[in-house]
Amino acid sequence: MLSYTMIGTNDLKAAECLYNAILLPLGYEVEEWRGRLIYSMPGIEDQHNGPGAFYVTKPLDGQPATVGNGTMVAFRAQSQATVRELHGLGLTHGGTDEGAPGFRDDYGPRFYVGYLRDPDGNKVALFCTNPSEPQRG
């Protein structure tokens, strides 16, 4: 089971602006601890270690944070409207568009997704697969 994910940042405040905008509406809590941001779901035992915990930090080796080619983190939303809303919030809080919300031919008919890059260039997906939502026609 995946417990937590950690990404690097060169500007913790810029990253916090973006991730607060897209993760707090999904029910995450945020805590700053020793220069790191820890996003986690309330009510989970050992919540800082997951499942679903998400850390944003300057690299521990002191070197600049860099992005991984092919690396992405994805967050599930309960509706397509929420995907659109969070994608828009991400854009107004320091993110850049990596793919507008919508269906993709490469994925199943219910996979509705929008993509962003955070201020450091990390790729983020916001997606919905709710069976009560419309599907790709």
- Residue-level pLDDT, tens digit, the chain, 137 residues: 788 999 999 999 999 999 999 999 999 999 999 989 999 999 988 888 888 899 999 999 999 999 988 899 999 999 999 999 999 999 999 999 999 999 999 999 999 999 999 999 999 999 999 999 999 98
Q: What are the beta bridge partners of residue 89?
A: none
pLDDT of the residue at 5: 95
**Alpha carbon distance 101, 123 (integer Å):** 14
pLDDT of the residue at 95: 98
b/e 118-132 (16+ beta carbons within 10 angstroms → b)? bbbebbbbbbbbbee
pLDDT of the residue at 94: 97
Distances (CA, A) of 133 to 15, 56, 80, 81, 125: 31, 31, 7, 10, 18
Note whether 103 and 127 are within 8 A (CB). no
pLDDT of the residue at 79: 97
pTM given for the model:
0.92
pLDDT of the residue at 49: 87
pLDDT of the residue at 26: 96
pLDDT of the residue at 134: 93
4-59+70-128: which CATH topology?
2,3-Dihydroxybiphenyl 1,2-Dioxygenase; domain 1 (3.10.180)
Report the amino acid identity of residue 60: L
